[in-house]
Amino acid sequence: MTIFTNNVIRIIQTIPCGKVMTYGQIAKVAGSPRSARQVVRILHSMSEKYNLPWHRVINSKGEIGFSDEEMFMTQKLLLESEGIQFNTERSLPLKSYLWHNDSEIINE
């Protein structure tokens, strides 16, 4: 496993209940600001194995990125169950729920 992948997994594991991070924010904190798509790939392939709270990761617009209706509803319901309220059907007020765990970049 690469250092970046390991960092992404550790960062996602730290997102607390009722908070979210964006793909780009996670990539930046993990040490590779231009690797948001890699974060998507890691979530897709490793969420189950590492029990990642995948539903707490959204896009930079504060929206759920799934086009698949079932996955969209699953993510939305999980976020709502943690107390997150949506502005519209797809978006939430990002400033209210964004987790700022980027005080230090992980380079171990």
**Residue 40: CATH number of its domain:** 1.10.10.10
Residue 103 lies in a domain: no
Burial annotation 64-91 (CB, 10 A radius, 16+ → b, else e): bbeeeeeebeebbeebeebebeeeeebe
Residue 16 lies in a domain: yes
| Residue 1 amino acid letter | M
Which pair of tokens denotes residue 55? 């539903």
92/64 Cα distance (integer angstroms): 9
Which pair of tokens denotes residue 86? 């949506």
Residue 91 lies in a domain: yes
What's residue 108's pLDDT? 45
Residue 105 lies in a domain: no
Residue 108 lies in a domain: no
What's residue 102's pLDDT? 55
What's the number of domains the chain is made of? 1
Residue 85 domain boundaries? 3-97
Q: How many CB atoms lie within 10 A of CB 102?
A: 15
User: Block means of pLDDT (10 residues each) for the chain, length 108 residues?
Assistant: 94 96 96 95 95 96 93 97 95 94 53
Indicate yes or no: pTM above 0.85. Answer: yes
What's residue 100's pLDDT? 87
